[in-house]
Structure 1
Amino acid sequence: MPASTPFPPQPFHGWRVVAAAFILAIFAWGIGFYGVGIFIATLSQSRGWPIGGLSAAVTFHFLVSAALVALLPDWHRRFGIAATTRAGAAAFALGLAGWGWAPHPWLLAPAAALTGMGWALCSGAAINAMLIPWFDRRRPAALAMAYNGASVGGIAMAPFWAWLIAGWGFGTATLVVGALLLAVVWPLAGLVLGRRPAEFGQHPDGEATARPAPAKPPAPARDRAALLRDPRFIGLSAAFAIGLFAQMGLVTHLVSLLAPVLGVQGAGLAVSLVTVFALLGRTVTGWLLPAGEKRRLAAAATFATQVAGSLALMLAGGEPWLLLLGCALFGIGVGNLLSLPPLIVQAEFAPAEVGRVVALMQAINQALYALAPLGFGLMRDAASTTAAISLALILQAAAGVMVLRRPG
């Protein structure tokens, strides 16, 4: 009589988690990153609310997220990934309704707090945590595929928002997107994203057997205070924080930089080119990324590519082809600056610390880049557009040098 097995053979569930995380990323970035820019333009045009106040609400959105995302690993441990992700989806939906139906500008503050909570619980650090139990050796490719949902969110959700707003108005559009988010993400959180390999009798990367245990027990995970004193964490976080500050500043002002030469429609297409190359760059890097310290070399190469893109934008003058080349080079970095930090952390920190390190790093990065649109705007007003692009170039170069310096 053949021996019974507790789990029948079945496809590796990890790739279903990647697909579900990809869908989550479409919504998260389509609302929490690209969507907030649409909110500013729509409320300014339709209600005459001042740009400064609307921009302050977006900054508050990112700052709330920065404060909450550092706590994400604790919430995952206490409540589970499924419940935490559902809470994020609910916060997103309620916050969207607040943005769409607020009768006075001051009521955007609670709406921004809710969308900031949704962004914290459903974006980069959350997706990394969802994939950690399922992938180790193949995590670069898995993260690249999941994070490509962020690029698709920019490509697909922006025109979807425009279509809804033109046809039914901003308020109804926010209700439709919120309902669609809940209808899709709520079941995915429980059925796919919150599951563990042991539930299926499977192992990370779909391997037939578990990897042998290390010869000595792993060191316990350090708390946030200890990580903030670690020179490796300080250097790595600082490099990506200033690189993302430069990136956010340029992304926010890119349309206005390109429009004088390419026109508004051409500038919109050029921004789409940035998103397409972000997707391509992240995918190629995810499949070819080396192991260990060489991941820092990939990050330095990414910053160098963005330096070249910023230089092309600065020197373009009235040459459309140089502007498009700059957008393409800059776009490659946009994709990789999202996926590379957790992969470097995976290579350099203890497995038990990876989730906490990634969440804390994202909190610091987000707190800084929330100020980038304002900083670049002030630079353009006080000096010139060339000075603002030069600032981005200098920061990108500094980040590339810093990321290569790994304390012993």
Structure 2
Amino acid sequence: MGGTRRGFFGWHVVAAAFLLAMFAWGINFYGPSVYLHALHAREGWAPSLIAAAITLHFLASAVVVSVLPRLHRRFGLVPVTRAGVLASAAGLLGWGFASAPWQMVPAALLTACGWAVTSGAAINACVAPWFDRRRPAALAMAYNGASIGGVVFTPLWAALIAGFGFDYASVIVAGASLLLLWPLAGRYFGFGPARLGLHPDGAAGPPAPRAMRAPAGPLWRQPPFRSLSLAFAIGLTAQMGLLTTLFSILAPSLGVQGAGLVMSLATACAVVGRTVVGTLLPPGFDRRRAGALNFVLQAVGCAVLALAGGAAVPLVLGALLFGLGIGNLLSLPPLIAQAEWPAEEVAAVIALVTAVNQAFYAFGPGLFGRALDAFGPWAPPAAAAALQLLAAGVLARR
């Protein structure tokens, strides 16, 4: 393999990670809102009951992802990824065929395990060994699979459920994920560049060592880690909560189809924003500053939504500004960790940051839903704007 972008095998790994992210988010992140609607319509269960199972899915995943680096060291990237794909597929079948509320519990625990070992920390573990200088662009491209998962799977779920029912729709998606991702993991995730006689980025030699501070005790006791994890936990709680309520905020003014279109455009903006940051971020630019600016951009979009008063143009503008920052809340933590921790610690930093994030944002939909019910459509974006400004301030502290 050559060292050019066209021939360097690392870019094939990025493409494989893109597909893994697309299925992981389509099943385990965007999927739960579909499961809630489908089970409520089919079984008549209270949305709050189904939402509790979804919260369990995210909280249990936070526990598992915190030990992901240890699982990778003990069992290897390929077996762990395949186990995650299998768990996601089995859990999806559990959701699809659930006929009693208790059956959502094992389904949620299975999809939680699958989500933990195929989501953000796992994508970073697949891609990071292949890139150093080009890592921002590589991770941006891989993580774009998460956004495309929302674009592809939401209408796909709707079409499959309408045509076959939720139970058989789950069989189709679970089968497709196994058929595609099982061999893909073995082909692309089983080795690093050294096995092919290559160096990161396809360069002629190894990357120059960075001047890096010595580890200062457990991660929880390191101020940079606390600020990084807390900032993105706050930001993702705001983001998850607003995304859950955004359709309801837009629909009264834009109609159901218009709200759906704006939601899709916001997701597309996430791809644009992540790609711009990944490809244009200067090598020496402070990545924390980039993260803080991203939070501020989202806060501005949320403020526009809160002040829109039902007017169509500011609603659309606010949603698009908010959307531009969505993707970077996933891709920036690994880049900040790369710049601030020794290479051997980055995987542990990202796994623990992801665990903290999920433990926080699991409660976002419920909290923002209550704010919408209690105060009206201005409240969720106003709360999100305040939280994102708080996140920007926390991230700026080291």
Q: Spell out the pairing of 1:308-347 with structure 2 (5 A cutoff).
A: 308-347=300-339
Q: Which residue in the other structure is 2:51 paired with? A: 55
Q: How far apart are 1:272 and its partner, in Å?
A: 0.4
Q: Mark the runs of 5 or more structure 2 residues left unpaired by the alignment.
A: none
In 1, Cα distance between the equivalents of 2:273 and 2:373? 33
2:240 is matched with which residue: 229, 248, 270? 248
Unaligned residue ranges in structure 1 (runs of 5+): 1-6
Deviation per CA, 1:269-296: give whole Å up to 9, x if none: 1110110000000001000113356111
What SS does structure 2 have at the residue aligned with 1:132? helix
Q: Which amino acid aligns with 2:93?
A: A
Shift of 1:388: 2.7
2:92 aligned with 1:80: no
Change (3 A) 1:305 1:56: same
Quote the offset at 1:385 in angstroms. Answer: 3.0
Q: Which residue of 1 aligns with 2:358?
A: 366
SS at match of 1:42: helix
Deviation, 1:101, is: 0.5
User: In structure 2, what residue type is equivalent to 1:279?
Assistant: V
Q: Match of 2:132, SS? A: coil
Name the residue aligned to 2:175: 179
Aligned to 1:33: 29
**2:110 maps to amino acid:** L
In structure 2, what residue type is equivalent to 1:134?
W
Does the 8 Å CA contact 1:28/1:150 hold for their aligned counterparts? Answer: yes
Shift in Å, 1:194: 2.2
Which whole-Å CA distance do the structure 1 matches of 2:250 and 2:210 have between them?
Answer: 54
SS at match of 1:385: coil
Partner of 1:46: 42
Q: CA offset at residue 378 of structure 1?
A: 2.0
Q: SS at the partner of 2:378?
A: helix
State the 1:209 CA deviation: 2.1
Equivalence for 1:271: 263
Counterpart amino acid of residue 380 in structure 1: L
CA distance in 2, matches of 1:9, 1:402: 39
- Asked if 1:102 corresponds to 2:98, the answer is yes
Partner in structure 2 of residue 304 of structure 1: 296
Equivalent residue, structure 1, for 2:390? 398
Per-residue CA shift, 1:310-366, capped at 9, x if unaligned?
Answer: 011111123111111111100011111110111011101111100000000000010
Aligned to 1:4: none
C-alpha distance in structure 1 between counterparts of 2:211 and 2:291, whole Å: 31
The answer (yes or no) to whether the contact 2:2–2:202 under 8 Å persists in 1 is no
Distance 1:295 1:9, change over 3 A: closer
The counterpart of 2:188, out of the listed 180, 189, 192, is: 192
What amino acid sits opposite 1:141 in the alignment? A
CA distance in 1, matches of 2:132, 2:3: 21
Gap change, CA 1:98 and 1:331, over 3 Å in 2: same
Identity %: 54
* Residue identity opposite 1:39 in structure 2: Y
Q: Residue 129 of structure 2: SS of its match in structure 1?
A: coil
Give the counterpart letter for 2:21 in structure 1: A
Length-normalised TM-score, structure 1: 0.94
TM-score by length of 2: 0.96
CA distance in 1, matches of 2:101, 2:299: 38
Q: Over aligned residue pairs, what C-alpha RMSD do you find? A: 1.8
Match of 1:280 among 262, 272, 280: 272
User: Which deviates the most, 359-368 or 381-390?
Assistant: 381-390
In 1, distance between residues paired with 2:221 and 2:53? Answer: 32
Q: Is the 8 A contact 2:43 2:99 kept in 1?
A: no
- Per-residue CA deviation, residues 76-128 of structure 1 (Å, 9 max, x unaligned), is 11111100000000000100110011110111011011011111000100000
Which stretch of structure 1 is more off in the superposition, 194-203 or 373-382? 373-382
Q: Does 1:229 align with 2:221?
A: yes
* 1:226 positional shift: 0.6
One-letter amino acid of the counterpart of residue 385, structure 2: L
Residues 1:166 and 2:162 are matched in the alignment? yes
Shift of 1:387: 2.6
Q: Where does residue 141 of structure 1 map in the other structure? A: 137
Q: 1:123 corresponds to which residue?
A: 119
Instruction: Output the CA distance in 1 between the equivalents of 2:359 and 2:60.
Output: 9
Distance 2:68 2:218 in 1: 17
Give, in whole Å, the separation in 1 of the partners of 2:262 and 2:306: 15
